[in-house]
Amino acid sequence: MKDFNFEVSTKILFGRNGLEKLSKEIKKHGSRVLLCYGGGSVKKTGLYDKVVENLKENDIFFVDMPGIEPNPRVESAIKGAALAKENNLDFILAVGGGSVIDCAKLISVAALTDANPWDIVIGKERVKSALPIGSILTIAATGSEMDKGSVITNLETKQKLGWGSPKVLPKFAIMNPEFTYTVPKYHTAAGTADIMSHTMENYFSVDDSAYLQDRFAEGILKTMIKFGPIAYNDPENYEARSNIMWANSWAINGLLATGKTQEWSVHAMEHELSAYYDITHGVGLALLTPNWLRHILDDETVEKVRTFGKNVFEIELTDDKFADANKAIDALEKFFKDEMHIPMSLREVGIDEEHLEEMASNTIKHKNGNVKGFKELSKEDVYEIYKMSL
Amino acid sequence: MKDFNFEVSTKILFGRNGLEKLSKEIKKHGSRVLLCYGGGSVKKTGLYDKVVENLKENDIFFVDMPGIEPNPRVESAIKGAALAKENNLDFILAVGGGSVIDCAKLISVAALTDANPWDIVIGKERVKSALPIGSILTIAATGSEMDKGSVITNLETKQKLGWGSPKVLPKFAIMNPEFTYTVPKYHTAAGTADIMSHTMENYFSVDDSAYLQDRFAEGILKTMIKFGPIAYNDPENYEARSNIMWANSWAINGLLATGKTQEWSVHAMEHELSAYYDITHGVGLALLTPNWLRHILDDETVEKVRTFGKNVFEIELTDDKFADANKAIDALEKFFKDEMHIPMSLREVGIDEEHLEEMASNTIKHKNGNVKGFKELSKEDVYEIYKMSL
**What are the average pLDDT values for consecutive 10-residue runs of chain B, which has 390 residues?**
96 97 98 95 95 98 96 96 98 97 98 96 96 97 96 88 95 98 97 98 90 98 98 98 98 96 91 86 96 97 97 97 98 98 97 96 91 93 98
Are B223 and A239 inside 8 Å of each other by CB? no
Cβ-Cβ contacts under 8 Å, B10 against chain A: 7
Measured between CA atoms, the residue of chain B closest to residue A21 is B5
Measured between CA atoms, the residue of chain A closest to residue B225 is A212
- Taking the CA of residue B140 and the nearest CA in chain A, the distance in Å comes to 14
Are B227 and A219 inside 8 Å of each other by CB? no
Q: Which pLDDT does position B275 carry in this prediction?
A: 81
| Domain architecture of chain A: domains with CATH | 11-179 (3.40.50.1970), 185-388 (1.20.1090.10)
Q: What's the rounded Cα separation, in Å, for the pair B347 and A384?
A: 67
- Indicate if the pLDDT at residue A72 is higher than 90: yes
- What pLDDT digit, counting tens, does each position of A201-217 carry? 999 998 789 999 999 99
For the residues of A309-351, what is the DSSP string, one character each? HHHHH-PPP-S-HHHHHHHHHHHHHHIIIIIS----STGGGT-
Cβ-Cβ contacts under 8 Å, B213 against chain A: 246
Where is average pLDDT lowest: A15-29, A222-236, A359-373, B78-92? A359-373
Angle between helix axes A211-233 and A302-313 (nearest 10 degrees) is 50
Of A31, A215, A6, A180, the closest CA to residue A97 belongs to: A180
- Indicate if the pLDDT at residue A376 is higher than 90: yes
Q: Which pLDDT does position B175 carry in this prediction?
A: 98
Are B227 and A250 inside 8 Å of each other by CB? no
- Indicate if the pLDDT at residue A61 is higher than 80: yes
Q: Which pLDDT does position B262 carry in this prediction?
A: 83
Q: What's the rounded Cα separation, in Å, for the pair A35 and A56?
A: 13
Name the residue among A14, A212, A259 with its Cβ closest to that of B3: A14
What's at A25, amino acid-wise? E
| CA distance to A93, A272, B320, per residue, from A358 (Å) | 38, 9, 60
Report whether A190 contacts A359 (CB < 8 A): no
SS3 assignment, position A33? strand
The model carries a pTM of 0.96
Q: What's the rounded Cα separation, in Å, for the pair A203 and A189?
A: 21
In this prediction, residues A49-62 reach a mean pLDDT of: 98
Q: What's the rounded Cα separation, in Å, for the pair B241 and A199?
A: 24
Are B216 and A216 inside 8 Å of each other by CB? yes
Are B14 and A7 inside 8 Å of each other by CB? no
Are A3 and B16 inside 8 Å of each other by CB? yes
Q: Which pLDDT does position A248 carry in this prediction?
A: 98
Based on the number of CB atoms within 10 Å of its own CB, is A207 exposed (0-12), middle (13-18) or buried (19 or more)?
exposed
Q: What's the rounded Cα separation, in Å, for the pair A385 and A363?
A: 12
Of B248, B244, B139, the closest CA to residue B199 belongs to: B248
